[in-house]
Amino acid sequence: MHFEPHVAMARPLGGVTEEFGHVVGDDIRLAYVHHRPVASRDVCVVILGPIGAERERAYRTIVELARSLAQRGYEVLRYDHRGIGESDGDFEDATIGLWASDARRVVESVRAVFSSKRKTTFLGVRMGALIASELFADGFGDAAIFLGSGDGQTLLRDASRRALVADSMHGNAARSVDDDSSANSPNRSVVGYSAISAGREARVDGYLWRPRLVSEAAAHRFRKPDHGDVRPWLQVELRGLATNARKTLAYTGSAPSGLAASGSASSGLAALGSVIGSDRNGDPRTSHAIALNAPKFWESSPQLVPENGELFDAIGAWCEQIGLEEQAR
């Protein structure tokens, strides 16, 4: 794959340039945005986003997150999966395996372009997190942040359930495209996930789901990195907005984990410190997870772009930590 830039715009804030174009392979053109800081650090963040309606809801938040990271000095690259948004291809022909294969090729190209000296960090959101976990488990990338940890079928079931509820509420339940008997009826047959997985086609959130998408999804499970993995990774659980806005912390695994406080005088690390409280006694390279009382920005909500400053700070601080570690080495 190679990068084919079309336009670039200079951001008024922080002097970060954004470049828009396509990453072109033999069979596909994927739309990308490259956020280029003026003075770039050693960490390059590749954002793997969600699909379908979740992409729409999360889009602006991800744009803001990318801009926030770029203003901190990180190269950020985000792109659309095949058949979705600005990328070419048909959603109907896509599978998670195909998206993962595209991601692999994009990441390989990024490494070639950004120079292999830069540390590649995956930032996966929902479906992007699943794909990032697979790539990371296969040895790609130097660090990873996962927002969401669902398996392939769980993520698809989630999406279809939400679409079904919304459509049923409005009397427009999703229906099988081959169900001719209901074609002219206002009371169309409801197609649940079980029917889809049994081989029926259906429109979910406007996208035509083919049986292959669902059957193939069974092969994709979220692969949480080993605690023995020396590469840093962070699993962020967003718990939604709670009335009690107290920050909570939950660790996965039995090993004590957290980020080292040493050499962390920067404001970014201070922000992360507030998230993880006083449990900063672990090895900075130890795998860990945090939970935040922050909105799940990919879900439907009256808030188009929720306040996610804390999340942005936490991710920025974590990236900063990786950079400090690299410098120390």
Partner 1 sequence: MRRSPNFLSQANMQTGSHATSHAVSHAPAIAVAHGVVRRPAVRRKFEVFSWRNEAILATHHVPDDRMRRSNLALVLVNAGPAPRAGNSDLSTRIADRVAQVGVPSFRLDFPGVGDSTGHSYKRLEEFRLAAQEDPLDDVLADVVEQTCARFGIERVLVGGLCAGAVVSIRGARRMGRRCAGLVLLEPDLLDARLAVGGVPAGVRVSVERVLRGLERRRWTSSIGRLARRFYEGLEHGRMPDGISRDVVDAWITLTESRVPTFLAVAEGLTYDTLCARVAVASGFELQPIGARENRTPPTGVSCLKLTGTNHLFTAGEAPDRIPDALAAWSQSFA
Rounded CA gap, 7 and 27, in Å? 23
44: helix, coil or strand? strand
Shortest Å distance, C-beta 127 to partner 1: 15
Task: Give the separation between CA 173 and CA 167, rounded to whole angstroms.
Answer: 5
Residue 102 as a binder of partner 1 (CB under 8 A): the answer is no
What are 2's two structure tokens? 């190679």
4 contributes a contact to partner 1 by CB under 8 A: yes
186 near partner 1 (CB under 8 A): yes
Choose, by CB under 8 A, the member of 39, 265, 302, 329 that binds partner 1: 302
Amino acid found at 134: E
Long-range pairs for 324-327 at CB < 8 Å and ≥24 separation? 324/263, 324/264, 325/232, 325/284, 325/285, 326/42, 326/43, 326/119, 327/42
Q: How many CB atoms lie within 10 A of CB 115?
A: 9
Pick from 162, 193, 215: nearest CA to 51: 162
Query: Residue 143 or residue 173: which is nearer to partner 1 going by CB?
Result: 173
Residue among 15, 27, 93, 168 that touches partner 1 (CB under 8 A): 168
| Residue range at the interface with partner 1 (CB under 8 A); choices 92-100, 172-180, 229-237, 271-279 | 172-180
145 in contact with partner 1 (CB under 8 A): no
Q: Which is nearer to partner 1, 188 or 224 (CB)?
A: 188
Q: Which stretch binds partner 1 (CB under 8 A): 59-67, 209-217, 258-266, 291-299?
A: 59-67
Say whether residue 47 binds partner 1 (CB under 8 A).
no
Three-class secondary structure of residue 322 per DSSP: helix
Residue 302: how many other CB atoms lie within 10 Å: 5
Contact 241, 296 (CB under 8 A): no
329 burial level (CB within 10 Å; 0-12, 13-18, 19+): exposed
**Minimum distance, C-beta of residue 252 to partner 1, in the bound complex (Å):** 32
Q: For residues 317 and 307, give the distance between their C-alpha atoms in angstroms, rounded to a whole number.
A: 17
- Subset of residues 218 to 277 that bind partner 1, contact rule: CB under 8 A: none
Give whole-number Cα distances, 176 to 152, 155, 187, 201, 261, in Å.
22, 20, 13, 5, 55
Is 39 a residue that touches partner 1 (CB under 8 A)? no
**Residue in 14, 63, 211, 280 binding partner 1, rule: CB under 8 A:** 63
Q: Does the protein bind partner 1 through residue 134 (CB under 8 A)? A: no
Return d(Cα 116, Cα 221) in angstroms, integer: 28
Q: Does residue 91 interact with partner 1 by CB under 8 A?
A: yes
Residue placing its CB nearer to partner 1 in the complex, 62 or 129: 62
Is position 305 an interface residue for partner 1 (rule: CB under 8 A)? yes
Rule CB under 8 A: say whether 56 interacts with partner 1: yes
Comparing CB distances to partner 1, the nearer of 169 and 265 is: 169
The residue within the footprint of partner 1, chosen from 102, 205, 313, 320 (CB under 8 A), is 205
Measured CA to CA in angstroms, residue 205 lies from 55, 155, 160, 241 at distances of: 11, 14, 8, 24
Contact call for residue 21 and partner 1 (CB under 8 A): yes
Binding marks (x or -) toward partner 1, 276..295, rule CB under 8 A? --------------------
Binding site for partner 1 (CB under 8 A): 1-13, 18-22, 29, 31, 33-34, 36, 52-53, 56-57, 59-60, 63-64, 84-86, 88, 91, 108-109, 112-114, 163, 166-175, 184-186, 188, 203, 205-208, 302-306
